[in-house]
Amino acid sequence: MRRRTSAYAFAERVELPGATFRMGGEDADANPDDGEGPVRAVRVESFAIDAYAVTNDRFAAFVGATGYRTEAEQYGWSYVFATFLPGPLRKISPRPPQTPWWCGVRGASWYHPEGPGSHVDGRGDHPVVHITWHDALAFCQWAGGRLPTEKEWEYAARGGLDQARYPWDNDLTPDGQHRCNIWQGTFPARNTQEGGYAGTAPVHAYDPNGFGLYNAAGNAWEWSADPWRPDDEDRRTMRGGSYLCHDSYCNRYRVAARTSNTVDSSSGNIGFRVAWPPRSGAG
């Protein structure tokens, strides 16, 4: 496992040549409304993509250089997983009826991920979260990159494997080893943390896939450039799953899996990764 410390240490890029690959899936466990299938041959032109999701340290550098305020900061609140909150704050924070494990917490943001009194100290190498699609775009524009398209993201996440369920192979825990940061136990009441983490993990945790991408499954959702449906610009696709994904209700840590959110939505498990133009002469 590689360890780095500087603010830009986790900005390494993986250069990928143009290729045709089989995108999508026809997994029996998939939600039919997610639009994973059918499996189809898709051409991707050469591009580069970050080996890691954008970290708190990288985002802090962006904020320090620009004074940017995220939409969660502007709105004054964001969603936090209820278990992470102290009892009094959990009690006064509203919950969506469909997903009562989320609390709308006043003062929650990328810098205060569990609301007032919390901070990202000691989590500089964790993925930045509470990031809306607009926030992710602003960072990309400042950095000179962009958000990956869905086909780019999936091609990169597959790591050169054809139709494997996960970025490493078809076994969730090969040889009994955890390869991603997802919920262990009974969701949402009991997390055994067998994978090592209750919330986000460092972006360099676990082994990379065949292309050198880290945490292409689990840890934090990653925004893509693409709309969820062709006629719905207000919802954008997210890929990769998060530390809250569990087979009992959300197995979207599979490579072909997809979900979406509105462009102004944020929560404690949504981040992003940056894509880039290829180096001159890349095929």
The CA R_g of the chain, rounded to the nearest whole Å, is 18
Strand order in the sheet with 47-50: 13-16, 47-50, 275-276
Give the pLDDT of residue 6.
45
d(CA 85, CA 16): 41
d(CA 141, CA 125): 21
Give the pLDDT of residue 280.
64
Lookup: tokens for 207: 């082994």
Taking CB atoms within 8 Å and a gap of at least 24, the contacts of 249-254 are 249/187, 251/29, 252/34, 253/166, 253/180, 253/182, 253/217, 253/218, 254/25, 254/27, 254/29, 254/30, 254/165, 254/166, 254/217
- Considering only 50-54, 193-197, 261-265, which range has the smallest mean pLDDT? 193-197
For the segment 38-44, the average pLDDT, to the nearest whole number, is 97
Nearest to 187 by CA among 243, 238, 240, 239: 243
Give the pLDDT of residue 2.
31
pLDDT in tens, 215-269: 999 999 999 999 999 989 999 999 999 999 998 888 999 999 999 999 999 999 9
Q: Which helix (H) or strand (E) holds 191?
A: strand 190-191
In 3-state terms, what secondary structure has residue 42?
strand
Give this prediction's pTM: 0.94
pLDDT in tens, 157-193: 999 999 999 999 999 999 999 999 999 999 998 999 9
The answer to whether residue 11 scores a pLDDT higher than 80 is no
Give the pLDDT of residue 279.
84
d(CA 74, CA 107): 10
In 3-state terms, what secondary structure has residue 14?
strand
d(CA 282, CA 48): 10
Lookup: tokens for 46: 């050469």
